C-alpha cells in the first residue's frame, strides 16, 4: 500500500510538471494575426472626410521568455501587413505596407503547473510603413509622392494559453496598439500632410512550442 502511495505521488508530480510555464522557459507561437484599424484622421483636402483603412490578416509570430513562473517578456513579429486606404467619396486610392513589432511585459495568472494560463501585458509598439503608393484612382485625382511617418506608441494585450502537453500549446490573444502617423502626399503638386490614427485591435490565434 505504501509503495502504491509513493508511486501515485511520483506520477502526480510528473503530471503537474508536464504542463508548467516555468522560469527560464522559452516558447514560440505562430498563427493568424488580423489587424483591424479603428482609424480616424483630419479632413482630407478639407472635403473628402477622414481616411478609411482596411483590415488585413498575416502570419503572426510571438517569442516569449519566462523570467519567473508568472512574468514573461514577449516580442510580437509578423509578415508585412498590407492595407487599402481611401475615403468615402473616392473609394480606395492607395495601398500601404506596415510592420508593427511590439515588446511586452506580461503577467501570467495561476500556478506554473496549470494547464490553462491566462495573462495580460503592457509594452511599447514601433510601427514602420513602407511601399506606400497611390493606385490608378489616386493618380487620376492628381495625387503623388505618398509617405507615412513611422510611429511609437503604447500597447496592451490579454491572452490565454492552453497547454496540450509538455511541448505544445494553443493560444488566443488580443492586442490594442496606439499608432499615430502623418500621411504626406502631393495634391496637384502641393505638399499635404494629414494627421491620422490607426489604433488597431489585433486578434491572434496560434499554436506554440516550448523549449
The pLDDT tens digits for 103-150 are 999 999 988 889 999 999 999 999 999 999 999 999 998 999 999 999
- Kindly state the DSSP code that residue 45 receives in the 8-state scheme: G
Residue that has been written with the C-alpha cell 509617405 in this structure = 147
pLDDT band for 18, please (50, 70, 90 cuts).
Answer: low
Q: What is the pLDDT of residue 19?
A: 66
In Å, the largest CA–CA distance within the chain is 90
Q: What is the pLDDT of residue 60?
A: 98
Q: What is the pLDDT of residues 22-48, one digit of tens each?
A: 899 999 999 999 999 998 888 898 888
Domains of the chain, each with CATH number or no CATH: 2-210 (2.40.160.20)
Taking 70 as the threshold, does the pLDDT of residue 59 lie above it? yes
Extended beta strands in the chain, E state: 26-36, 40-41, 52-53, 56-66, 71-78, 81-87, 91-99, 102-108, 116-134, 143-148, 151-163, 168-177, 180-187, 190-197, 201-210
Amino acid at each position: 500500500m505504501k509503495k502504491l502511495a509513493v508511486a501515485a505521488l511520483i506520477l502526480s508530480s510528473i503530471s503537474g510538471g508536464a504542463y508548467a510555464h516555468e522560469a527560464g522557459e522559452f516558447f514560440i507561437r505562430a498563427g493568424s494575426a488580423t489587424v483591424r484599424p479603428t482609424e480616424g484622421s483630419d479632413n482630407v483636402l478639407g472635403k473628402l472626410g477622414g481616411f478609411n483603412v482596411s483590415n488585413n490578416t498575416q502570419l503572426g509570430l510571438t517569442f516569449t521568455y519566462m523570467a519567473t513562473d508568472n512574468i514573461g517578456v514577449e516580442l510580437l513579429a509578423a509578415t508585412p501587413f498590407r492595407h487599402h486606404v481611401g475615403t468615402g467619396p473616392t473609394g480606395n486610392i492607395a495601398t500601404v505596407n506596415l510592420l508593427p513589432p511590439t515588446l511586452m511585459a506580461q503577467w501570467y495568472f495561476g500556478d506554473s503547473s496549470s494547464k490553462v494560463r491566462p495573462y495580460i501585458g503592457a509594452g511599447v509598439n514601433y510601427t514602420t510603413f513602407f511601399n506606400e503608393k497611390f493606385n490608378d484612382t489616386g493618380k487620376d485625382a492628381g495625387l503623388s509622392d505618398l509617405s507615412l511617418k513611422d510611429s511609437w506608441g503604447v500597447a496592451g494585450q490579454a491572452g490565454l494559453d492552453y497547454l496540450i502537453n509538455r511541448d505544445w500549446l494553443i493560444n488566443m490573444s488580443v492586442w490594442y496598439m496606439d499608432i499615430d502617423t502623418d500621411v504626406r502626399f502631393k495634391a496637384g503638386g502641393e505638399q499635404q500632410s494629414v494627421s491620422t490614427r490607426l489604433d488597431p485591435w489585433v486578434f491572434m490565434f496560434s499554436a506554440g512550442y516550448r523549449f
